[in-house]
Amino acid sequence: MRIDLVARPQRSRLIEIAAPVAAMAVAILIGGVVVALVGRSPLTAFDVYFIEPLTQSYSLQAIAVKATPLVLIATGLIFCYRANFWNIGAEGQFVAGGALGGWLGLVTHDGALQGAIGGWWILPAMMVLGAIGGALYALIPALLRVRLNVSEILTSLMLVYVAQLALDWLVRGPWKDPEGHNLPVSVNFDPAASLPLLVDGGSLHLGVLFVPLAVALAAVVFSKTLFGYSVRLAGSAPRAARFGGFDDRAIAIAAFMISGALAGLAGVVEVSGKIGQLLPSISPGYGFSAIIVAFLGRLSPVGVLVAGLVLALTFVGGEDAQIAMHLPGDLTLAFQGVLLACVLAADVLARYRLLVSWGWGARS
């Protein structure tokens, strides 16, 4: 028997949409088997993971708040991945943005610098600083790649640890709350430095509005503009891009900086809208989960929005399952890994047909 992958002549809309849905279904089946092997009911687990969180206001809010950093980061990652640059350091860019934006929240603590003009400028400035912090941090692997041909995979990943440790040191050292009983936390942000809540007593904050904005902008850039075209082209056919007259270095730097800016924005939204202060660690790995979101969303902005919500659902459902069914929290991460593997496999099947030939030569 011999299996060949034959390219499909035309991309079919139906398959484009069906592939990630099928991948999701297969991943859920595999997850169900694992749950059954642990000795719990797969049906109950399915209910706790995927149904119950959708029935409660608080968990719906939690899903939206969780999805916010995932979708923002993944939207940026699309620019890198479409251009064939493997930025896997969004986690570090998230931390860099959160730290730089959060810094403004710390220096304006207790009304400082707010005197005559008031504090209205603080939140917008924090958001801008967050984006700048992430963009500059992403510029490092971009320049190393473009100037010295250093693998951006290694540099962007390793810079994650640098950013994490730097924030850890800052929060334990210079940025520590002097009245915080020596706990490694900063002071709490003033209201002027905190994103306001949208629901009284809930968790939904103003930062979630960045999500539709970023997704819509990215969708327009990719489908309508010459810049979006050049990013797709550089990744899909680099020689053709050079022949077309597009500067691959400029594209690399732009893609990294957009990606970093969105990750940094997500970081400052997280500290200002959700955490309310700086902590030694401000992310449970959003920057890495966003890689799954980007691929689950087939590297399209709208797809990423859907995928981010799905993944946020598994996070929230996973927390519920820990409480209700005493399932280990690592199961959520394992499930996300299975999901990514299924999505990548489905992606291949969407682009190629499997051709199984049985002939008399069928001995090789």
d(CA 267, CA 284): 12
- Three-state DSSP class for residue 34: helix
User: 298 to each of 27, 63, 81, 292, how far by Cα in Å?
Assistant: 16, 21, 10, 10
In the complex with another protein, the residue whose CB is nearer, 181 or 239, is 239
Q: Are 203 and 193 a contacting pair, CB within 8 Å?
A: no
Work out which of 3, 7, 37, 117 binds another protein, going by CB under 8 A: 7
* Least distance in angstroms from the C-beta of 216 to another protein: 15
Q: Which residue has the tokens 């100037």?
A: 147
Nearest to 114 by CA among 193, 179, 206: 193
| Window of 3-11, 58-66, 81-89, 197-205 that interacts with another protein by CB under 8 A | 3-11
In the complex with another protein, the residue whose CB is nearer, 151 or 357, is 357
Work out which of 41, 56, 225, 281 binds another protein, going by CB under 8 A: 225
Please count the residues of this chain forming the interface with another protein, following the rule CB under 8 A.
Answer: 31
Work out which of 3, 9, 37, 356 binds another protein, going by CB under 8 A: 9
* Least distance in angstroms from the C-beta of 245 to another protein: 3
Which 8-state DSSP code applies to residue 344? H
The CA dihedral of 278, 280, 285, 286, to the nearest 10 degrees, is: 10
| 353 is an interface residue for another protein by CB under 8 A | yes
Nearest to 91 by CA among 145, 38, 165: 165
In the complex with another protein, the residue whose CB is nearer, 11 or 181, is 11
Nearest to 77 by CA among 250, 271, 300: 300
Provide the β-strand partners of residue 197: 205
| 357 is an interface residue for another protein by CB under 8 A | yes
* Least distance in angstroms from the C-beta of 352 to another protein: 12
| Window of 42-50, 122-130, 149-157, 235-243 that interacts with another protein by CB under 8 A | 235-243
Dmax over Cα atoms in the chain, in whole Å? Answer: 88
d(CA 316, CA 173): 33
| Window of 55-63, 205-213, 220-228, 340-348 that interacts with another protein by CB under 8 A | 220-228
* Least distance in angstroms from the C-beta of 11 to another protein: 7
In the complex with another protein, the residue whose CB is nearer, 11 or 147, is 11
Encoding tokens for residue 338?
């299975």
| 356 is an interface residue for another protein by CB under 8 A | no
Residues that bind another protein (CB under 8 A): 2, 6-7, 9-11, 224-227, 229, 232-233, 236-237, 239-245, 353, 355, 357, 359-364
